Amino acid sequence: MTHIRPTILAALAAVGILASAPAFAQSSACQDGQKILLERQSIIKQINGLTGGGKKKQIDPRAACGVFGKLVSNGDAGLKWMTTNKDWCQVPDQVVTNFEQDHKRAQTFKSQACGAAAKMAEMEKRAKQQAQQQGTPGRIGGGLTGTLNVPKGAL
């Protein structure tokens, strides 16, 4: 997931380029594009939070799946908006190309994160089933219960 950084930089660059376009404030359709890109920037901040801001932090695939799902939905809306309003809002071709590439990467990351989350859920389900079959309900893998049986009688 270290390839997230180029996605973040490209999205931020797109926000900066589109915000400075002369016709951007002239049309409500252009303002809609700005809203989409600002939402994308917010989602990218959430992704940065998952990664620990550059620190080597273990990412929870379930959380990553949800956030990347939002990013992909946002990307779908962004691509649709760019296709419709590219000329009117003076969006450069390079911005559209970069956005498309970043969107494809986001789809790949979402697929990987959601696949890992599904595998985790399946493993947890199997562990619970195995624990129940062994007669130790509520304990995954026969772990500790937190109780200690003290023998009764004279020691």
pLDDT of residue 103: 94
Distance from C-alpha of 18 to C-alpha of 110, rounded to nearest angstrom: 26
pLDDT of residue 86: 87
Assign 3-state DSSP to the chain and report helix, strand, coil percentages, each to 5. Answer: 75, 0, 25
Cα 75 → chain centroid? 12
Q: Please give the biggest Cα pair distance in the chain.
A: 90
What percent of the chain is modeled with pLDDT above 70?
66
Per domain, the residue ranges of the chain are 4-122
Q: How many residues does the chain have?
A: 155
Contacts (Cβ under 8 Å, ≥6 apart) of 102: 6, 7, 10, 11, 75
136 pLDDT band, cuts 50/70/90, is low
Cα 67 → chain centroid? 3
Q: What's the mean per-residue pLDDT of the chain? A: 77
More confident of the two residues 149 and 40: 40
Query: pTM higher than 0.85 for the full model?
Result: no
- C-alpha torsion angle, residues 124, 115, 9, 40 (rounded to 10): -80
Distance from C-alpha of 133 to C-alpha of 140, rounded to nearest angstrom: 11
The answer, yes or no, to whether residue 147 has pLDDT greater than 70, is: no
The answer, yes or no, to whether residue 16 has pLDDT greater than 90, is: no
More confident of the two residues 8 and 120: 120
pLDDT in tens, 69-124: 999 999 999 999 998 888 888 889 999 999 999 999 999 999 999 999 999 989 98
The answer, yes or no, to whether residue 11 has pLDDT greater than 90, is: no
Is the Cβ–Cβ distance between 66 and 114 less than 8 Å? Answer: no
